Amino acid sequence: MGLTRSEYNQISKVYEERQMRDHRTLELHKKTAMERIPALRDLENEILDLSMETYRSMQSGNHQALAEMRKKVEAATARRKTLLKEHGLPEDYLEPVYECPDCHDKGYIEGPNGREKCHCYREMEMQFLYRQSGVSTIVRAENFDTFDLSVYDDGTMVGPNTSNLQYMRNVRDHLIDWCRRFPDNPEKERNLLFRGDPGTGKTFLLNCIAKAVMDRYHSVIYLTSIDLFESLSYKKNKSEEDETDEMLEAILDCELLIIDDLGTEMNNTFTSSKLFYILNQRIVYQRSTIISTNLKHDQLRDSYGERTASRLNGSFDRYALFGTDIRNRRKNGR
Ligand SMILES: [Zn+2]
């Protein structure tokens, strides 16, 4: 799982607050009902006594007494419902109110294999993952399910007996498999580099991967190259510096880092040294990085230096993307 301890603490807090709110709501309902229906107090006490009796019968294993007690509790509860309705209140007015009826706002349920996370908890984890990833929820529309192979040309040959369409079908299938295996991909496939001219579908592929990986609850940070270096650049004051430190920590720690359009930033010694540091750290800690770029290998070497180029060469599984501008083909309805 890809959330930090502090994010898990935040989620725990949400559940604590929900439980407190549920409790307050119920107390408020009790107060309102008691004020409106004086007879209710006696009935409540009766139900409480009966519940305690029921518990005792259960403990002592007296089945007959237990069955009788349960009947009495049911009758008293039915009387309570009638009483509430007669006074214009909903009949479940004194039942606990939960935002999630499945886990009663605890965040977990007792499953066949013991305690497990409730669907509401998983949904909250997803929200945190998307928030930290930089992948907007709109981008969730760009995924392997909406991957349209028909934008690739079956007439353009990109290899011996391989059209671009066939090639991209293989790439797509391979990437789906890559995401399914994440984060246990073999070392030589741990990092991916997509190279292609503008409009060959690099960003779309990155979005597909980001979504597939996040849908399996792994942490992803997705940044354009420009945003990456901007977020790490010189800061004016202490609080901005703290933000930068946090950002760098997240960039180094996330399970998958995606850098889109490497080479479009203003390149200088700062960007070169930061890039090397990030790539190197992530390789050392065996965390996956995916990069897309328009630059060819020698251009990457010229921009970022020999040692970075050699990392990109040696530790990244490289994909070339071909074809005419997909964006134009999409626009032209082809
Ligand atoms: Zn729940």
What would the pLDDT profile of 122-171 be if each residue is shown by its tens digit? 878 877 777 777 776 656 677 888 888 888 888 888 888 899 999 999 99
Alpha helix (H) ranges present in the chain? 5-36, 39-60, 63-86, 119-133, 164-181, 202-214, 225-232, 238-253, 269-284, 297-304, 306-315, 326-331
* Alpha-carbon 293 to chain mean position: 26
In 3D, which of 282, 275, 277 has the Cα closest to residue 315? 282
Task: At 158, list the tokens.
Answer: 């990109």
pLDDT beyond 70 at 202: yes
Q: What are phi and psi of 110, to 5 degrees?
A: -90, 110
Taking the CA atoms of residue 319, residue 321, residue 322 and residue 326 in that order, the dihedral angle to the nearest 10 degrees is: 170
Task: At 137, list the tokens.
Answer: 């929820």
Q: Which long-range contacts (CB under 8 A, 24 or more apart) does 123-128 make?
A: 124/11, 124/14, 125/1, 125/3, 125/11, 125/217, 126/214, 126/215, 126/217, 128/3, 128/7, 128/10, 128/11
What would the pLDDT profile of 24-38 be if each residue is shown by its tens digit? 999 999 999 999 999
pLDDT beyond 70 at 329: no
Domain ranges of the chain: 5-119, 134-331
pLDDT beyond 60 at 334: no
Give pLDDT, residue 140.
64
Query: Which residues, in sequence order, are CB contacts of 199 under 8 Å at separation 6+?
Result: 324, 325, 326, 327, 328
Residue 11 CA, ligand 1 centroid: distance in Å: 12
Give pLDDT, residue 219.
81
Residue 157's beta-bridge partner residues?
163
What would the pLDDT profile of 51-91 be if each residue is shown by its tens digit? 888 888 888 888 888 888 889 989 999 999 999 999 999 99
Cβ distance 244 to 235 under 8 Å?
yes
Cβ distance 134 to 115 under 8 Å?
no
Quickly state the pLDDT bin for 227 (edges 50, 70, 90).
confident
Give pLDDT, residue 1.
43
Q: How much is the mean pLDDT over the chain?
A: 88
Burial tier of 187 (Cβ tally within 10 Å: 0-12, 13-18, 19+): exposed
What would the pLDDT profile of 89-133 be if each residue is shown by its tens digit? 999 999 998 988 889 999 999 988 899 888 888 878 877 777 777
Q: What is the pTM of this model?
A: 0.68
Domain 134-331 carries which CATH code?
A: 3.40.50.300
The mean per-residue pLDDT over the stretch 167-180 comes to 95
Residue 98 CA, ligand 1 centroid: distance in Å: 9
Residue 231 CA, ligand 1 centroid: distance in Å: 36
The Cα 315–Cα 186 span in angstroms is 11
Residue 192's beta-bridge partner residues?
290, 317
**What secondary structure letter does DSSP report for 47?**
H
Residue 109 CA, ligand 1 centroid: distance in Å: 8
The Cα 262–Cα 9 span in angstroms is 34
Give pLDDT, residue 333.
43
Q: What are phi and psi of 157, to 5 degrees?
A: -90, 130
Give pLDDT, residue 327.
55
Query: Who has greater pLDDT, 288 or 203?
Result: 288
Burial tier of 144 (Cβ tally within 10 Å: 0-12, 13-18, 19+): middle
Residue 317's beta-bridge partner residues?
192
What would the pLDDT profile of 179-189 be if each residue is shown by its tens digit? 999 999 999 99
Is the four-CA dihedral 56, 61, 67, 68 of positive or negative sign? negative
Residue 122 CA, ligand 1 centroid: distance in Å: 9
Query: Who has greater pLDDT, 230 or 290?
Result: 290
Give pLDDT, residue 138.
58
Core vs surface per residue 118-132: b (16+ CB within 10 A) or e: bebbeebbeebbbeb
pLDDT beyond 60 at 216: yes
The mean per-residue pLDDT over the stretch 204-215 comes to 90
Residue 22 CA, ligand 1 centroid: distance in Å: 14
In 3D, which of 225, 290, 288, 233 has the Cα closest to residue 262? 225
Quickly state the pLDDT bin for 232 (edges 50, 70, 90).
confident
**Percentage of the chain exceeding pLDDT 90:** 52
Residue 123 CA, ligand 1 centroid: distance in Å: 9
Residue 261 CA, ligand 1 centroid: distance in Å: 40
The mean per-residue pLDDT over the stretch 40-54 comes to 90
